């Protein structure tokens, strides 16, 4: 191990993006080994496994689930998703027996960890070296000794039925009779989340529509909203018809985020099969489609997640040129270590180091966050060793760079005190 790798392993990480539920929810859901698959589930599905067959709703016995898992694990064990899970269960549970009995034994160990009140602290703080993780768990009620909440705002602009409006009324505590009322309700909702500790907003619409956003007028959006208000409660508005309203509300949420000094995280690039159904329309996620929006709000702070893969060349140009845009390696290392290295090499050469966020595990469970940070530290260390060998950086500069992307940059932008 190089001295650079040794220094990187000492850094206390600020983890910029996870989907880890509060431990009370994990305990309530009785999460077992099959509940830890997350990204590997996507590979199992694309390798031919029936969707949902390993879920808690499945009618299979635990032994039958183990058999199904092993059948498709043999077809996917080459992928980084599989190898990351293997690292997690080996390091944290001592798992080396990839047989039906081995899986069943592991399953009991995971269930025991789910009921361990100290498991999150042991894994995140002690094993992973993560001081705080930003989590998107659809709640602001998180353990602030471990997490800070970020809230999905898609549900505030993905309006298709009257019920969608009623949900915002409920969550904001505001009654909505007009479009202006609705805009005030969205503002009140963000204000409420900020008072509860939210540190950023998240826009994830690339999973269900294009990132292209027009600039409709208030009147155009109001007309669409009024049609929605007058509709039958169960009668959905089409995506094509509701796009004008969605676009206006995306602008409104960005404006509210600026008002509350909240960074705006936006999904770009690759989709996860296990949560996006059979859609996976990757062209919806082209980062270049965001350029008009980025240019319209120079006072905003946009954090573009996932390095835009597979549009990472355009992504590099965008984050280099826009002062209000930040690069974020969330999810990237487990998608492909090779691509991650390529992007990081180019980013070191192109992007000011204060604009790069080096880690977000993007996992549903702490075990995944642990294994992902281990891989991330190795990949970043490997790249920095190469940069030092090429005399592009000194060893001191390399270690400083790592400290910035893994910790200092996030503390600065998100205004954290840890």
pLDDT of residue 277: 54
Among 117-121, 227-231, 371-375, whose mean pLDDT is lowest?
227-231
Candidates 115, 117, 89, 77; CA nearest to 33 is 89
User: What is d(CA 349, CA 337) in angstroms, rounded to the nearest whole number?
Assistant: 19
Query: Looking up tokens 């602290």, which residue turns up?
Result: 121
The total of other beta-carbon atoms located within 10 Å of residue 56's CB is 11
* Res. 12: pLDDT tops 80: yes
Which pTM value belongs to this model? 0.97
Q: What is the pLDDT of residues 192-218, one digit of tens each?
A: 999 999 999 999 999 999 999 999 999
Task: For residue 158, give every residue at least 6 positions away whose Cβ sits within 8 Å of its Cβ, in sequence order, or none.
Answer: 164, 205, 208, 246
Q: What is the pLDDT of residues 82-104, one digit of tens each?
A: 999 999 999 999 999 999 999 99
Q: What is the mean pLDDT of residues 66-85?
A: 98
φ, ψ for residue 67 (rounded to 5)? Answer: -65, -45
Tokens of 378: 């190795």
For the domain with range 121-413, which CATH number is right: 3.40.1360.10, 3.20.20.140, 3.30.70.1150, 3.40.50.2300?
A: 3.20.20.140
Judge contact between 159 and 228, C-beta under 8 A: yes
Break the chain into its structural domains and give their ranges: 23-116, 121-413
Confidence band for 190, pLDDT divided at 50, 70 and 90: very high
Burial of residue 230 (CB within 10 Å: 0-12, 13-18, 19+) is exposed
Strand order of the β-sheet with 356-357 is: 151-152, 201-203, 264-267, 302-305, 325-328, 356-357
Q: What is the pLDDT of residues 378-393, one digit of tens each?
A: 999 999 999 999 999 9
């Amino acid at each position: 191990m190089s001295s650079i790798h040794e220094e990187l392993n000492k850094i206390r990480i600020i983890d910029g993006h996870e989907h880890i539920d509060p431990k009370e929810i994990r305990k309530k859901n009785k999460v077992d080994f099959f509940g830890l698959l997350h990204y590997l589930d996507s590979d199992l599905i694309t390798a031919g496994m029936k969707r949902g067959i390993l879920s808690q709703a499945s009618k299979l016995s635990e032994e039958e689930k183990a058999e199904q898992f092993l059948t498709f694990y043999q077809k996917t064990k080459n992928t980084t998703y599989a190898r990351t899970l293997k690292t997690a269960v080996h390091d944290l549970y001592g798992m080396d027996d990839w047989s039906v009995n081995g899986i069943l034994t592991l399953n009991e160990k995971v269930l025991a960890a789910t009921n361990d009140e100290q498991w999150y602290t042991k894994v995140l703080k002690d094993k992973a070296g993560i001081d705080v993780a930003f989590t998107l768990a659809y709640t602001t009620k998180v353990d602030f000794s471990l997490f800070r909440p970020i809230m999905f705002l898609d549900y505030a602009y993905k309006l298709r039925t009257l019920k969608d409006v009623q949900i915002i009324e409920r969550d904001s505590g505001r009654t909505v009779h007009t479009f202006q009322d609705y805009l005030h309700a969205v503002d009140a909702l963000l204000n409420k989340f900020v008072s509860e500790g939210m540190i950023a907003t998240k826009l994830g619409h690339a999973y269900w529509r294009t990132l292209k956003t027009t600039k409709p007028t208030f009147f155009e959006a109001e007309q669409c909203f009024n049609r929605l208000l007058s509709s039958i409660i169960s009668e959905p508005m089409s995506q094509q018809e509701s796009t004008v309203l969605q676009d206006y509300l995306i602008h409104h949420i960005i404006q509210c985020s600026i008002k509350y000094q909240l960074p705006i995280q936006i999904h770009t690039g690759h989709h996860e099969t296990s949560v996006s159904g059979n859609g996976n329309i990757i062209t919806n996620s082209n980062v270049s489609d965001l350029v008009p929006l980025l240019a319209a709000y120079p006072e905003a702070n946009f954090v573009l997640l996932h390095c835009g893969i597979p549009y990472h060349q355009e992504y590099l140009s965008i984050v280099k040129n826009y002062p209000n845009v930040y690069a974020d390696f969330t999810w990237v290392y487990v998608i492909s270590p090779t691509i991650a290295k390529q992007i990081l090499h180019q980013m070191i050469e192109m992007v000011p180091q204060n604009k790069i966020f080096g880690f977000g595990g993007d996992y549903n469970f702490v075990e995944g966050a642990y294994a992902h940070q281990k891989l991330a530290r190795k990949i970043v260390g490997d790249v920095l060793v190469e940069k030092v060998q090429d005399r592009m950086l000194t060893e001191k500069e390399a270690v400083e760079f790592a400290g910035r992307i893994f910790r200092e940059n996030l503390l600065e932008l998100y205004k954290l005190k840890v």
